[in-house]
C-alpha cells in the first residue's frame, strides 16, 4: 500500500521554496513603490499648497519680478493765505515718454520734430529715443503742448497725466513759500518744511518688464486728453497776502533807496503769534527757482544772525524792572564815556557833559552807557535767564527749516561783555526771534510761538484739521509791561530816536537799533551796520508787532532814517487792512 506524503488540502506538486535573493529583490521593489507613492503624495500636497495657500504670495513675487514702480508727481494741497487767496496751486500737466518696443522710427528725425515742442535739446532727445529702455522725454507740459505731441502720431511716444506746481503771486512771499521739484516734493520754504502736511498721497505707475529687462508702458493714443485732478484740499496759512504785498513793496523801496544788501519785514499778531507777513528781499519767483541763487532761496529772516543793537535795551530794562534792581524813577549818571576795566563804552550822541537819566530817557536817547548800567544792576545769570525766557539763544519753534538759535554767550560774562550785551552788542539774534520776543512786551508779558499754519481744508473746503496757537508762557509781569509802555512810546515822541516811526492817528511804541556788523571771522567790526526798528501799534491795545531790518545800508546808517519810516508805512497800511480806526485827536506824524 502506498503512503501519501502530501499535506491535507494541498494538491499537485509541492511549491519550491523562494530563493533568498528573490525575496530581497521583491522587498526592495515594494519599498521603492512605497517611496514613489510617498513622493507622489508629497508633490501633490506641495502643488496644492503652492496653488491654493501660497498663491497670493507667489503671484506678488511674480508681479514684482516683471514690474517696476514709477513714482509720479503727487497731488499737493493748495497753499492759501488767511483769507483764501491762492499762494500755491497745482495745475494739470502731461509728461512725455518713449516706449522703445513701439518706437521703430528714425531717432534723429523724431527728435527734430519733438525738440521745438518740448523745448528740450535735440541731441538729448535723440539719445533717449535711440535707447533700449523706457524714458521720460519731458515733464509737466501744458495741455497745448500735449495736444501737439499727440498730433504728431509718432509710434512709441506717449503721454502721462500729472500735475505741476504754480505760484499765482509770482515773487510775493517767494522765499517764505518756497518751491517743489519735478516730483512735486517740497525743496524749499514752507513747501519743504511742511511737506508732510501739503503733500497728498503718493502716485505711482506700474511698468511691465519683459524678459530682457526692458520697460513696457502702453498709452492709448486714441483717448482724449482728459482733465487732470489738481486739488486734494488746501493748507491755509496765517499770512495775509495784502499785508505781505505792502511789506515787500515798502521794503523793496527802502533797499533801493539806501542801497542795502538785504532786508526783512515781519508783521505778527502779539496775542497768538500769527505771522501776518514775512517779507525778505532779495527774493525770487518760485515758478522759476532755477534762476535763483542759493543765497536768495535761503530765508534770511531765520537763518542769518546779527547783533541787534539798541533794540535789545527794552528787554534789559524789562528784566531789571522784574527783579526789582531798578524802578522807572531810578536815576543813572551817564558820562559821555564809561570806563569798564581796560575798555570803555560811549553813546553815539552823548551831548555835552554828564547826563542824569531815568530809564525812559535812556531809551528815548538810546544811551549805551545808561543801558549798560541797568544791565549790570543784576547778576549776569539773571539777565541771561530772562533773555532765554524772551526766546533768545534758542529757536522760535516756528516749524521753518534752517532756523538759527542765535548766539547768547555762556556764563560767566566778563564785565565788559555784560555791559555790551545789555545794549545789544556781543549777542546775535534772528529777525524772527526779535519780532517774537517783542510780542511779550506788547501783550502783557507772555511769550508766544510764531504760527504759520492755521488750518487744513479738504477738497470741498471743509475744515479737517486746525492748528491752535501754542499756550502762552509768562515772561514778565503785566506791571513791568505797563511800566515799560510809556518808555517805548517816548522813543517816538519829539526828541526821541524813533520819531519817523509815528503813525498818524495812533500811539506807537518801539525802539531803534543801529548795530555794527561783525566781521565773518568774529574779529572786530566792519564799517557796515544792521539797522532795525522794532515796535507795536496801537501802543495802548496792540494789534500788530512789526520788525523792519536793513542789512548794510550804504546811503544812510541810523535806524531813525532807514527802518523807522518802513515801520510807519507798513503799520499804517496794515492797520487799514485790519480795519483798525485811527484816533482823529492824535497829532499827525512828522514829515521825514
Q: Which residues of 419-443 are buried (b: 16+ CB within 10 A; e: fewer)?
A: bbbbbbbbbbbbbbbbbbbbbbbbb
Q: What is the pLDDT of residues 209-244, one digit of tens each?
A: 555 555 555 544 344 455 566 668 999 999 999 999
Give how far Cα 416 sits from Cα of 376, 490, 499, 520, Å: 10, 28, 31, 21
Q: Is the pLDDT of residue 53 over 80?
A: no
Comparing C-alpha atoms, which of 408, 470, 401, 482 is closest to residue 436? 470
Considering the chain, tell me which residue range(s) the CATH 3.40.710.10 domain(s) occupy: 241-453+470-578
pLDDT at 103: 86
DSSP strand pairing (343-346 vs 215-216): unpaired
* 3.40.710.10, 3.20.20.70, 3.40.50.2300, 3.30.460.20: CATH of 241-453+470-578: 3.40.710.10
Provide the whole-model pTM: 0.85
C-alpha cell belonging to residue 540: 495802548
Query: Which pLDDT tens digit goes with each residue over 60-110?
Result: 655 555 556 666 667 899 999 999 999 999 988 888 988 887 888 899 999
Phi and psi torsions of 5, nearest 5°: -100, 0
Mind listing the pLDDT tens digit for each residue in 272-300? 999 999 999 999 999 999 999 998 999 99
Amino acid at each position: 500500500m502506498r503512503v501519501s506524503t502530501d499535506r491535507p488540502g494541498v494538491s499537485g506538486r509541492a511549491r519550491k521554496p523562494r530563493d533568498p535573493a528573490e525575496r530581497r529583490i521583491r522587498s526592495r521593489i515594494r519599498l521603492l513603490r512605497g517611496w514613489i507613492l510617498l513622493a507622489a503624495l508629497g508633490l501633490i500636497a506641495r502643488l496644492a499648497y503652492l496653488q491654493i495657500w501660497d498663491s497670493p504670495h507667489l503671484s506678488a513675487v511674480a508681479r514684482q519680478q516683471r514690474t517696476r514702480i514709477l513714482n509720479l508727481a503727487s497731488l499737493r494741497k493748495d497753499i492759501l493765505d488767511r483769507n483764501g487767496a491762492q499762494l500755491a496751486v497745482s495745475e494739470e500737466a502731461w509728461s512725455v515718454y518713449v516706449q522703445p518696443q513701439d518706437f521703430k522710427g528714425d531717432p534723429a528725425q523724431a527728435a527734430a520734430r519733438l525738440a521745438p515742442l518740448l523745448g528740450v535739446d535735440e541731441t538729448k532727445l535723440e539719445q533717449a529715443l535711440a535707447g533700449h529702455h523706457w524714458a521720460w522725454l519731458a515733464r509737466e507740459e501744458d495741455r497745448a503742448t500735449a495736444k501737439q505731441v499727440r498730433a504728431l502720431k509718432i509710434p512709441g511716444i506717449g503721454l502721462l497725466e500729472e500735475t505741476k506746481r504754480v505760484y499765482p503771486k509770482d515773487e510775493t512771499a517767494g522765499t517764505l513759500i518756497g518751491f517743489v521739484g519735478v516730483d512735486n516734493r517740497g525743496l524749499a520754504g514752507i513747501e519743504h518744511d511742511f511737506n508732510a502736511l501739503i503733500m497728498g498721497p503718493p502716485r505711482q505707475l506700474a511698468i511691465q518688464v519683459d524678459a530682457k529687462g526692458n520697460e513696457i508702458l502702453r498709452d492709448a493714443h486714441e483717448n482724449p486728453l482728459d482733465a487732470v485732478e489738481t486739488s486734494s484740499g488746501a493748507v491755509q496759512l496765517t499770512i495775509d497776502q495784502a499785508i505781505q504785498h505792502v511789506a515787500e513793496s515798502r521794503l523793496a523801496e527802502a533797499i533801493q533807496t539806501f542801497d542795502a544788501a538785504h532786508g526783512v519785514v515781519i508783521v505778527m499778531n502779539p496775542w497768538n503769534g500769527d505771522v501776518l507777513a514775512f517779507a525778505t528781499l532779495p527774493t525770487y519767483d518760485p515758478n522759476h527757482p532755477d534762476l535763483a541763487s542759493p543765497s536768495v532761496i535761503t530765508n534770511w529772516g531765520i537763518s542769518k544772525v546779527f547783533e541787534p543793537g539798541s533794540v535789545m535795551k527794552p528787554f534789559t530794562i524789562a528784566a531789571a524792572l522784574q527783579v526789582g534792581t531798578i524802578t522807572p524813577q531810578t536815576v543813572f549818571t551817564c558820562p559821555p564815556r564809561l570806563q569798564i576795566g581796560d575798555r570803555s563804552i560811549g553813546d553815539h550822541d552823548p551831548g555835552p557833559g554828564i547826563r542824569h537819566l531815568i530809564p525812559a530817557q535812556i531809551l528815548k536817547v538810546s544811551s549805551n552807557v545808561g543801558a549798560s548800567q541797568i544791565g549790570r544792576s543784576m547778576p549776569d545769570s539773571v539777565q541771561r535767564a530772562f533773555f532765554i525766557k524772551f526766546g533768545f539763544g534758542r529757536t522760535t519753534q516756528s516749524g521753518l527749516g534752517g532756523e538759527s538759535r542765535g548766539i547768547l554767550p555762556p556764563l560767566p560774562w566778563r564785565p565788559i561783555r555784560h555791559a555790551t550785551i545789555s545794549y545789544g552788542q556781543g549777542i546775535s539774534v534772528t529777525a524772527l526771534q526779535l519780532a517774537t520776543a517783542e510780542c511779550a512786551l506788547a501783550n502783557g508779558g507772555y511769550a508766544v510761538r510764531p504760527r504759520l499754519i492755521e488750518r487744513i481744508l479738504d477738497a470741498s473746503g471743509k475744515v479737517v484739521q486746525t492748528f491752535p496757537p501754542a499756550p502762552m508762557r509768562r515772561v514778565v509781569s503785566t506791571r513791568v509791561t505797563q511800566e515799560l509802555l510809556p518808555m517805548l512810546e517816548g522813543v517816538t515822541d519829539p526828541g526821541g530816536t524813533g520819531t519817523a516811526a509815528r503813525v498818524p492817528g495812533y500811539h506807537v511804541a518801539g525802539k531803534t537799533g543801529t548795530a555794527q556788523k561783525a566781521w565773518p571771522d568774529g574779529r572786530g567790526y566792519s564799517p557796515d551796520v544792521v539797522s532795525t526798528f522794532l515796535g507795536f501799534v496801537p501802543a495802548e491795545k496792540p494789534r500788530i508787532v512789526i520788525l523792519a531790518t536793513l542789512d548794510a545800508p550804504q546811503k544812510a546808517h541810523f535806524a531813525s532814517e532807514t527802518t523807522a519810516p518802513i515801520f510807519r508805512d507798513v503799520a499804517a497800511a496794515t492797520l487799514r487792512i485790519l480795519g483798525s480806526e485811527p484816533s482823529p485827536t492824535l497829532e499827525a506824524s512828522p514829515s521825514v
